[in-house]
Amino acid sequence: MIKFFRKIRQNLLSEGKTGKYLKYAIGEIILVIIGILIALAINQKNTDRNNNKLRDLYLIQLNDETDLNIKELIEYKNSYIKRVTELDTLFDILVNRDYDNPKLLSKSTKLYGRLTFNPIMTTYENLKFSGDLKFFSDIELRNSISETYNTFNAIKSAELIDLKVIDVYYQDYYMPNAKITNLSLSSNHFGKDDYFENTVSVRRITIRQIIDAYDNSIESLEQLRIIFADLKK
């Protein structure tokens, strides 16, 4: 078509018909513009199609991450619930000054055990640092994803506080007693003081804070999973 216009243009110029040439020249320009617009529209359509495929892939990966994180959080939560129950029993023993109770030593071992939740965040981090989060045009969805992964920060903070309690207990109480008496775990010497009782009390609090942080993340992750399921419909 463009060759046809060029041929007509050459003929018109050779015949000196400048007015008609200008009309055909304008027509040729319009035709080129239309062609460019069509090409851009096709390219944009292909780009949108590729972006949608990439977004759908991200959704699948995010959903898998959500399932794995929920599973691990529930396991950790249940483990900590058992641990804090053991410490509740220990605290009752100490409050009642029941130092001859055979459970005193066995429950005391629950003071220095801990778990560290390491969330799976590979897909989210790829989205955030690559800028691909923009593929999710729904602002509410983007906010839900970000807010859910941000709940892991509260877990980390709670776990760090709990770790400090364990470290203080181990360094300031457990090790010094072990070095001095060599009988720190005997029923005659171990746990019969306010420091130990206070440590047990504080550890019960920090573990419950961790459980609350777990619950918050689990709830947020489950809501996100519902959103992902709705998007597949």
Q: Compute and round to an integer the Cα radius of gyration of the chain.
A: 34
User: For 81-101, what is each residue's pLDDT tens digit?
Assistant: 999 999 999 999 999 999 888
Confidence (pLDDT) at 74: 97
Of 199, 185, 44, the C-alpha closest to 112 is 199
pLDDT digits (tens, 9 = 90+) for 199-228: 999 999 999 999 999 999 999 999 999 998
Identify which of 6-15, 18-27, 111-120 has the greatest average pLDDT.
111-120
Q: DSSP for 124-184?
A: HHHHHHHSGGGG---HHHHHHHHHHHHHHHHHHHHHHHHHHHHHHHIIIIIHHHHHHHS-T
Question: Exposed, middle or buried by CB within 10 Å (0-12, 13-18, 19+), for 47?
Answer: exposed
Nearest to 185, CA basis, from 119, 113, 107: 107
Residue 183 is predicted with a pLDDT of 42
Most distant CA pair in the chain: distance in Å? 121
Average pLDDT, the chain: 82
123 and 56 Cβ atoms separated by less than 8 Å: no
Residue type present at position 8: I
| 50-75: average pLDDT | 89
17-44 residue pLDDT tens = 555 556 656 767 777 777 677 767 666 6
Q: How confident is the model at residue 5 (pLDDT cuts 50, 70, 90)?
A: very low
Query: For residues 49 and 62, what is the distance between their CA atoms, to the nearest angstrom?
Result: 20
HSE-CB at 163 with a 13 A cutoff on CA atoms is: 9
For residue 2, pLDDT beyond 50: no
Share of the chain above pLDDT 90, in %: 44
Which structure tokens are listed for 173? 């109480």
* Helix 122-130, helix 18-95: angle, nearest 10: 140
Query: Any idea how long the chain is?
Result: 233
Please tell me the distance from the alpha carbon of residue 232 to that of residue 162, in angstroms, as a whole number. Answer: 40
pLDDT at 165: 92
